[in-house]
Amino acid sequence: MTTASPATASTPRHAAYPHLLQPLDLGFCTLPNRVLMGSMHTGLEDKAADFPKLAAYFAERAAGGVGLIVTGGFSPNIVGWLKPFGGTLRWPWEVRKHRQVTRAVHDNGSRICLQILHSGRYGYHPLQVAPSRLKAPINPFTPRALSARGIERQVAAFVRTAQLARDGGYDGVEVMGSEGYLLNQFTAPRTNKRDDAWGGDATRRMRFAVEIVRRIREACGPDFIIVYRLSMLDLVDNGLAWDEVVQQAQAIEAAGATLINTGIGWHEARVPTISTSVPRAAFTGITARLKPHVGLPLVTTNRINMPDVAEAILARGDADMVSMARPLLADPEWVNKAREQRADDINTCIACNQACLDHVFQNRRASCLVNPRACAETELDYRPTATPRRIAVVGAGPAGLACATVAGERGHHVTLFDAHAEIGGQFNLAKRIPGKEEFHETLRYFGRRIDQTGVQLRLGTTADAAALSSFDAVVLATGIKPRGVDIPGAAHAKVVSYVDVLSGRVVPGRRVAIIGAGGIGFDVAEFLVQEGESPSLNAKAWRAEWGVDLAYGENRGGLVAPRPEPPAREVWLLQRSPGKPGRRLGKTTGWIHRATLKSRQVKMLGGVEYLGVDDGGLAIRVEGVEQVLPVDHVVVCAGQEPYRPLADALPATDVHVIGGAEVAAELDAKRAIAQGSRLAAEL
């Protein structure tokens, strides 16, 4: 078995990304490149009826050139369920449905491993088990502590699932040993309080994981890929110490693993690990630290989304492969585009979690904000049209961009109008928020798509009824107008809109109140407290801000006291409804926004009554107590109303209204892009 080595004279070199596109010899098989599609639950794993959709989803990624795919997690038994009736592989008759997946992947030239995931105390059901009877802070259920016989039964279940995976045509398995799931619960003193053969010192805590790998190797033979996902940075108190991480990796290698994949952070950790504000490749340094200690290839992960980022990691020798899950949801052709030196054509994952992880946590099928076809490959078809038409799309925000480019791809003659000098609509404001720099990528991608699909772009052009009269169909994607506030002093010079602030027309003073604590209010607060370089563009500064210590200098788990930058302004973030602001933010990201503002000393108040604005500031009443916030500016982020003045001016036939122009309430780019794409697929 060989580990990372750049191309030699006998192997082909790829000009742009020689390390990324270098084959990897695993001894008994050779992967064509260094891209592993990381495990990600899609919601299609749980019912047999969904397997044709799952097969189509993986088939597109296999055809897109990925070297090795790992499925979402399947439990080895019902006590290891993630949720009641979650996907398992534990009986011979379940093998048949998996063959649809493995055949689809092999027919398209790739390889696939099944991830075996035992949730332990993270299982959202009362049957859950764990090394010790300790409830997870993110789960209402308390686990039952496993007996020694119970532990043997879990090991046997892992082995049986691996054998069934082999029968089902999988090239191997990934054993999930990180993110705070059962194996990680055994390895860490935080959750393993046993003093028998399965707990106590590090060797006994890791015995469960090592035994599973050893016995899978024994049962499945030498030519079966075993990926072990090892938690290299727990990011929780009383997690593993660094010497224990090294010891575990060496024991897992000796037990017969083929690859070690990197796991970062338990689900209960209070440090973001994959959200858009996490700098690209912020954690790969930890894989690099492990590299000299093991001989088998290492896979690194988290916030790697573009080929230049992946190439730099591999060229530095930090790892032998990169794992990406969401970037391949966003663009199944990612690897082929890199190979063809078309990185600018990649539909980049912006790490928003809005359509993938947030959906999974809501028990909905995953998809992707920038690619609504993800997990809907059999349903959303951009087939060429038999009857090309002349279509006008008014508004080049996310809804209009998606609609125009899909219609253009299908062969329609599309003209796209925007009143502004650049495409993007509100994304041009969003991309200025610290931590949302990735939004630039979506605009770059749509710019390329406009060129490639032959869409005629008319920027700086406010479309009117006369300009639209000659088209066969008109799509109004004219977006929104910000809602004003109806309070005394609303016309005072201190009162400005979020558009004024984010566009740079107004530079607020040192003390600012924000009216409205929705997604935009939170973003504006983050914009106001940050001065200078965004921590999301500087991994070292970001790690200091969140207390991540790759050197494990002080504590187990890689944690150190956070050192947030002082706020650039004194900010109040206000809402009328009672309770804590931010409760309606995204499931997997809302806590990050709240924690960021808290660390920057933003005062977040609910149950606020706005009494008025004058030269002295903003007068408010909270729980019957009046006070004046002595602010220089009041930024209004009070939601939005649809903007569609053209709707009534056009003849009724074949006019479609989409995005914020149709419904502004609870609008986001996920809805805008999906609606635009779906409409264009039907036009």
| Residues classed as catalytic | 181
13 near 39, Cβ under 8 Å? Answer: no
For the chain, what's the residue count? Answer: 683
Amino acid making up residue 444: R
Whichever of 330 and 680 has its CB closer to ligand SF4, that residue is 330
Residue 500 in the binding site for ligand NAP (CB under 6 A):
no
Amino acid making up residue 424: G
Whichever of 368 and 475 has its CB closer to ligand SF4, that residue is 368
The tokens describing 629, both together, are 């916030």
338 near 32, Cβ under 8 Å? Answer: no
Whichever of 654 and 668 has its CB closer to ligand NAP, that residue is 668
Shortest spacing between CB 328 and ligand SF4, in angstroms: 8
Ramachandran angles phi, psi of 681, nearest 5°: -70, -20
Whichever of 318 and 418 has its CB closer to ligand FAD, that residue is 418
- What is the contact mask toward ligand NAP in residues 431 to 470, using x (rule: CB under 6 A)? ----------------------------------------
The tokens describing 451, both together, are 């060129």
| DSSP of 219-274 | HH-TTSEEEEEEEEE--STT---HHHHHHHHHHHHHHT-SEEEEEE--TT-SS-SS
Task: Indicate the residue whose CB is closest to ligand NAP.
Answer: 518
**Sequence-distant (≥ 6) Cβ neighbours of residue 532 within 8 angstroms:** none
Whichever of 105 and 667 has its CB closer to ligand FAD, that residue is 667
Q: Which residue in 63, 117, 146, 517 binds ligand NAP (CB under 6 A)?
A: 517
- Strands 495-497 and 390-394, by their bridges, are unpaired
Shortest spacing between CB 467 and ligand FAD, in angstroms: 9
Residue 659 in the binding site for ligand NAP (CB under 6 A):
no
419 contacts which partner out of ligand FAD, ligand NAP, ligand SF4, none, CB within 5 to 8 A by kind? ligand FAD
Residue closest to 164 by CA, chosen among 243, 224, 80: 224
Residue 523 in the binding site for ligand NAP (CB under 6 A):
yes
Amino acid making up residue 79: V
Hey, is 531 helix, strand or coil? Answer: coil
Q: Cα torsion at 524, 525, 531, 535 (round to 10°)?
A: -90
Which residues sit at the interface with ligand FAD, rule CB under 6 A? 352, 354, 394-400, 417-420, 425-427, 429-430, 433, 462-463, 477-480, 502, 519-520, 523, 646, 659-660, 667-670, 672
**Which of these segments, 232-240, 246-254, 321-329, 638-646, binds ligand NAP (CB under 6 A)?**
638-646
Residue 356 in the binding site for ligand SF4 (CB under 6 A):
yes
73 contacts which partner out of ligand SF4, ligand NAP, ligand FAD, none, CB within 5 to 8 A by kind? none
- Residues pairing with 474 in the sheet: 392, 655
Residue 329 in the binding site for ligand SF4 (CB under 6 A):
yes
Residue 347 in the binding site for ligand NAP (CB under 6 A):
no
Cα 305 from Cα 325, distance rounded (Å): 9
Whichever of 96 and 505 has its CB closer to ligand FAD, that residue is 505
Residue 394 in the binding site for ligand SF4 (CB under 6 A):
no
Q: Which residue in 66, 95, 370, 403 binds ligand SF4 (CB under 6 A)?
A: 370
Shortest spacing between CB 433 and ligand SF4, in angstroms: 15
536 contacts which partner out of ligand FAD, ligand SF4, ligand NAP, none, CB within 5 to 8 A by kind? none
Cα 26 from Cα 172, distance rounded (Å): 12
Cα 657 from Cα 644, distance rounded (Å): 8
Shortest spacing between CB 83 and ligand SF4, in angstroms: 20
Cα 627 from Cα 466, distance rounded (Å): 53
Hey, is 170 helix, strand or coil? Answer: coil
Cα 521 from Cα 594, distance rounded (Å): 12
- Residues pairing with 74 in the sheet: 116
Shortest spacing between CB 353 and ligand SF4, in angstroms: 5
| DSSP of 106-127 | HHTT--EEEEE---GGG-SSTT
**Which of these segments, 75-83, 221-229, 509-517, 541-549, binds ligand NAP (CB under 6 A)?**
509-517
Shortest spacing between CB 359 and ligand SF4, in angstroms: 8
370 contacts which partner out of ligand SF4, ligand FAD, ligand NAP, none, CB within 5 to 8 A by kind? ligand SF4
Residue 175 in the binding site for ligand NAP (CB under 6 A):
no
> HEC states along 477-512?
CCCEEECCCCCCCCCCCCEEEHHHHHCCCCCCCCEE
Q: Which residue in 193, 576, 598, 621 binds ligand NAP (CB under 6 A)?
A: 576
Cα 409 from Cα 413, distance rounded (Å): 10
638 contacts which partner out of ligand FAD, ligand NAP, ligand SF4, none, CB within 5 to 8 A by kind? ligand NAP
Contact residues for ligand NAP (CB under 6 A)? 354, 483, 485, 515-521, 523, 575-577, 586, 637-640, 666-668
Contact residues for ligand SF4 (CB under 6 A)? 326, 329-330, 349-356, 368-370
